[in-house]
Structure 1
């Protein structure tokens, strides 16, 4: 089972994909709670160079509320991360597959919520 929902976007620059990703998340009810510039962090902490790589921690409050309501400790697995990274073909967008990440939790109600979030994130990635 894959643990991410992926798409490679060609012939665009990194910041354009970032802008489009944020808009797609907003359009589907998500907000970006956290942002990690992995490239800058690796340079600062390890003096290592790498291609652009950014992690956006996205949250849909309604879905988070529903998930926490059926499994209170699920917050340890939130928010839903979306990564943007430079690859040879363009910019790859990958969103966590909530069904895969929640598979360790034995709760059928939570799996239903995760399925809804997976569908939403699939639409996000597809629309970028």
Structure 2
């Protein structure tokens, strides 16, 4: 089973796709709680060069509230990560976590329903970029 929802863009700049991703997240009820510049971190911590790679920790407060109410320890798996990365040539790929895949280890049908709703929302986000 795939664990991400992916879309690749050719000919657009990395920064443009980052902005389009932020906008699509916002337009679909997600806020960005965390941001990790993987490229800068790898350079700083281990002096390694990595092509542009950004992790956006996205959260839809209503869905997070539902999930925490159903499964209080689910916070260990939140927020929903969305990555934007340079994938070669002039390609930039956006990958959003598939909440259904990441929640498989949790035996709670109510949570699986919420995960399915969030997956649909993230699929909409990725299509809207």
TM-score range, shorter chain: over 0.9
The residue number in structure 1 matching 2:53 is: 53
Q: Please state how far the C-alpha of 1:88 moved relative to its aligned partner.
A: 1.7
Gaps of 5+ in 2: none
CA distance in 2, matches of 1:79, 1:50: 24
The residue number in structure 1 matching 2:116 is: 115
CA distance in 2, matches of 1:77, 1:84: 19
The residue number in structure 2 matching 1:97 is: 98
The residue number in structure 2 matching 1:80 is: 80
- TM-score normalised according to structure 1 size: 0.99
CA distance in 2, matches of 1:80, 1:2: 15
CA distance in 2, matches of 1:12, 1:118: 25
Q: Root-mean-square deviation (CA), in Å?
A: 0.6
Q: Which SS does the other structure have where 1:66 is aligned?
A: helix
Task: Extract structure 1 runs of 4+ deviating beyond 2 A.
Answer: none
Name the stretch that deviates more: 2-11 or 83-92: 83-92
CA distance in 2, matches of 1:92, 1:106: 32
Q: Which SS does the other structure have where 1:34 is aligned?
A: strand
Q: Please state how far the C-alpha of 1:57 moved relative to its aligned partner.
A: 0.1
CA distance in 2, matches of 1:9, 1:127: 12
Q: Which SS does the other structure have where 1:58 is aligned?
A: strand
CA distance in 1, matches of 2:63, 2:9: 27
Cα shift readout 1:32-61 (whole Å, capped 9, x = no counterpart):
000000000000000001100000000000
- TM-score normalised according to structure 2 size: 0.98
Gaps of 5+ in 1: none
